[in-house]
Structure 1
Amino acid sequence: MDTVYNIQGAKHDLEEEQRWVDDEKEYLHAIVNLPSWDTTYGPTYSAEPSSWRLVKKTGAEKEEVVFTIQGVIEGKELPPVFEDLKIARNKAFFLHQSLMLSGLGTTTFEESLSALTKIWTVFGRQFPEGRLMPWQAGVSAFGGAGTLTLSNRYFTKKSEAGQMQGVPFPSNVDPKKILTKMLNPSLIHTAENNVQYVIRHSDLGRNFQYTPADPQHFRIGDIVEVQFSVVVYKMRTDYYVFKPMLYSIALLDAKWGNDLALCRASITPSPAPTQPLKRKIGYAVVTNATVCAQQGEPMDGIAEQGGGVEGEAERKRAKTAEDESKVSGGLAQMRLA
């Protein structure tokens, strides 16, 4: 459990956000409480890209369901990509951006997780029994409640894209073109691989406005609203994987994320001061004057007079040798005694 995060304060504000309902949004926790919800909503196969999606049946038309949920960011792996990802090109398909949400134990969030489990059960009947991989919520470090992890891959396989067209990576996702260079004849980046990042602004009347945001703006502890769909993909084997696909993140309240960052900074110990290391550098340089003096040949009078820098150095060395001789003689006498 993260002991520096104000769980109760953030939970109170999150519950306030969950009380406001937009009639044009599909709230995950509310769907499965509708009468005969499984006749209005159901899985269907989509060829672009090859997958199974949850759709809403309105007459002859089918519309993919995009859910809305509010929570607190507990973990994230978001762009921008600044460094080489050190991954083989044949593994690039698995690269993704992801977000882990905690509901801090709020009723709405826990009901949403239960609803997602029921939807997983409905999808399971589209495949032979046991072929849909299990799905379950995670456990939060913010108090032990449930978490929801959402993700979206950077690439789509061309063999599964159908008529979908490639689009450039947004500059705030791939500023150094690292992802762009990983594109190859078997992979494309489509509009569905993009995640929208926004910040919500509002006045006292809650007339919301949204402005674009950079992915790095989001922090652990922020209260956000996320939109996502439910998708099932076929794996290389005859098994299938159920995943919530991330489409957008809206920052609702940065207060608790800022407070968490300040608390963590205040308890992080400063590195202990270090003493500079002592070192001996250099060589005993023999000058021409010293050589001449040793040979008894004067050089501009310096050696004869014993003056200058070299002469002073010679006197110091002689004095040091004399002192060492006295010390050595004294120690010898002490040992003999």
Structure 2
Amino acid sequence: MDEFYDFEAAKKGLVELATQREGEIYNALATTKMMGYSVQQFYNPTTWRIVKESDNPTAREECVLRLHGILSELDLPPVSRQSLQPKKQLPHLRQQVGITLLDSKLETSYMDKLLVVYHFLCRAHRNGFVAKWGPSEFRDYVQLNAHSRYFTSGNYAKFTESVPFRPMVDPDNALSNVSGTDLVHGTDNVVDYLRLVRETGQIYYEETNPASFRVGDIVELEISPMALGVKGNSEAKFTLILRSIIMLDDSHSIHATFARAKASMPRLVPAIKLIRKTASDEKEERDVIIARRGVALLNIERQGDESDMNITN
């Protein structure tokens, strides 16, 4: 986002869309009360997740919250063979986004709610077990970050059921080809890329290409807040795990792209016409002047003759 991006229009659009969506969804971060949830530890890898009971007595429903913002940073699929990192870095390869709220009223609301969630996790452990957390920055604004790794790796991989990569995420099979017993793409690594569609009073989602997202787009994120075990599980790190990105409005980034392209176009200067005079041109000009003088003299003589005739009569 630069001087061609209309920050005020985007901020207004963000607040309007967030307000509208909060009335349409049940798990909006801004309105959640965390009722019925508890913290439960899971293993392989070690995480502490916020869950509640489900219809299945042997399963728990994970807390998934929705929040809205403007994309200010992104590293998303597709992944090509050329962009793959060295193999030792593959376990850390991730899809990630940052969203900003442009100092709108959402900023205070979201930060207050995320701190409630953070302390909800903290209170399930001894004091200081979950490391301190705070947002990052974009320009002078708050930025919230969420990510999801492409793989579950190491010893944890053998406890993970593999699922195929979606074609728009891995079109060249670059990720599929490096998958193995120690690198597994499981359900916990899947991110949905969607577009919200409103049509004849109906609302639905359609799958979209992750490459279509741009900085400046207004989006809805689904995230799972959790604490990840680090340093041999001697402490935990509060993290927002990305579950889906939903495109709400890409018009602001498109307008900025057009304005940027228009400004970079060369200004058209009228071409200077080249005039060349030769001796023949000068002769033609003299002939024209002589001819015009002849016509003028002839007109004078005619007028004189007409005057003489009038006097005689």
TM-score > 0.5, shorter chain as reference: yes
C-alpha separation in 1, matches of 2:220 and 2:147 = 15
Specify the SS of the correspondent of 1:130: coil
Contact 1:47 1:161 in 2 (8 A): no
Aligned residue pair count: 262
For 1:57 and 1:170, the matched residues in 2 are separated by 30
Structure 1 portions without partners, runs of 5+: 271-337
Corresponding position of 2:65: 67
User: Given the superposition, is the C-alpha separation of residues 47 and 134 from structure 1 closer, same or farther in structure 2, using an over 3 Å criterion?
Assistant: same
Percent identity reads: 25
Structure 1 residue 22, shift from structure 2 partner:
4.5
Give the secondary-structure state (helix, strand or coil) at the position aligned to 2:164: coil
Matched, 1:3 2:6: no
Residue 118 of structure 1 is matched in structure 2 by 116
Q: TM-score by structure 1 length?
A: 0.70
Q: Equivalents in 1 of 2:7, 2:191: separation in Å?
A: 28
Distance apart, 1:161 and its partner CA = 5.2
Q: How does 1:266-281 map to 2 (within 5 A)?
A: 266-268=262-264
Encode CA deviations 1:259-282: one digit per residue, 9 max, x unaligned.
122233334487xxxxxxxxxxxx
Distance 1:85 1:266 in 2: 31
TM-score when scaled to structure 2? 0.75
* 1:159 equivalent among 147, 150, 155: 155
**Post-superposition offset of 1:202:** 0.9
Q: Select which of 162, 167, 172 maps to 1:171.
A: 167
Alpha-carbon distance in 1 for matches of 2:81, 2:54: 46
Question: What does 1:1-337 align with in structure 2 at a 5 Å threshold?
Answer: 2-20=2-20, 21-22=22-23, 24-31=25-32, 34=33, 37=34, 40-47=36-43, 49-56=45-52, 62-85=60-83, 87-141=85-139, 144-157=140-153, 159-160=155-156, 163-203=159-199, 205=201, 207-237=202-232, 238-268=234-264
* CA–CA separation in structure 1 for the residues paired with 2:219 and 2:25: 18
Q: Is the 8 A contact 2:157 2:183 kept in 1?
A: no
C-alpha change, 1:65 and 1:11, in structure 2 (3 Å) is same
> What residue identity is the alignment partner of 1:69?
L
Contact 1:47 1:162 in 2 (8 A): no
By how many angstroms is 1:241 displaced?
1.6
Shift of 1:179: 1.4
Report the alpha carbon displacement of residue 86 of structure 1 after superposing the two structures with TM. Answer: 5.3
Distance in 1 (CA, whole Å) between partners of 2:108 and 2:174 is 38
Preserved contact between residue 224 and residue 252 of structure 1 (Cα < 8 Å): yes
Residue 70 of structure 2 aligns to a residue in which SS? strand
Q: Distance in 1 between matches of 2:127 and 2:89?
A: 29
State whether residues 49 and 162 of structure 1, in contact with CA within 8 Å, keep that contact through their aligned partners in structure 2: no
Whether contact under 8 Å (1:44, 1:52) holds in the other structure is yes
SS of the residue 2:4 aligns to: coil
User: Is the CA contact 1:50–1:161 (under 8 Å) kept in the aligned structure 2?
Assistant: no
Aligned equivalents of 2:181 and 2:44: distance in 1? Answer: 18
Residue number in structure 2 paired with 1:302: none
**Larger CA deviation: 55-64 vs 213-222:** 55-64
**3-state DSSP of counterpart to 1:26:** coil
8 A Cα contact 2:94 2:148, kept in partner: yes
Q: Is the 8 A contact 1:138 1:146 kept in 2?
A: yes
**Structure 2 residue identity aligned to 1:117:** L
Q: For residue 301 of structure 2, what is the aligned residue in structure 1?
A: none
Deviations 1:143-200 (A, max 9, x none): x232111100000136335753101111111112221222232221012211111111
CA offset at residue 258 of structure 1?
A: 0.3
Deviation at residue 203 of structure 1 after TM alignment: 3.5
Q: 1:233 to 1:164 in 2, by over 3 A?
A: same
2-structure distance, mates of 1:7, 1:24: 26
User: Is the 8 Å Cα contact of residues 158 and 182 (structure 2) preserved in structure 1?
Assistant: no
Deviates most, 163-172 or 122-131: 122-131
Q: Is the 8 A contact 1:230 1:243 kept in 2?
A: yes
